[in-house]
Amino acid sequence: MLDFLSLKGLIRDDEARMLGSEMQRVFSIVKLNPIAKEDLEYLKKIFSKDVDEITIEEAEKVAEIGKKWWYEDGSEIAYKTFLAGLVIRGYHISKMVKEGKKPWLEPPFRIKES
């Protein structure tokens, strides 16, 4: 569904930035257990960047970490992490569509199999 919204160009800059700020706040209070220290450090590093500096690949890795964490723990923060990665990926795809590109036909856009 997020890919569809992205291809329609419906994920805006301010929405993606708000999500990045919220994730920074959330990760400042997360404890290490049930998430690995390396994963938490990676998430903090990614969300300390401006949303325009986060690559599609980094957003996909954020989603992967969030999904794994969510499956293992079932926490709301893990679910937010998963969605944040997908929304930021979608934001970049929306930008590409608005620039007249067809990201579904060119790298780095790809749909990962779960």
- Give pLDDT tens digits for 79-101: 999 999 999 998 888 888 888 88
pTM of the full predicted structure? Answer: 0.71
Closest CA to 66 of 106, 95, 26, 102: 26
In a domain, 37, yes or no: yes
What range does the domain containing 36 cover? Answer: 2-100
pLDDT at position 114 is 41
Residues of the chain with pLDDT under 50: 111-114
In a domain, 112, yes or no: no
pLDDT at position 98 is 84
pLDDT at position 5 is 65
Length of the chain: 114
* One-letter amino acid of 19: L
CB atoms within 10 A of CB 82: 20
In a domain, 107, yes or no: no
113 burial via Cβ count (<10 Å: 0-12, 13-18, 19+): exposed
Structure tokens at 73: 């723990």
In a domain, 113, yes or no: no
Report how many domains make up the chain.
Answer: 1
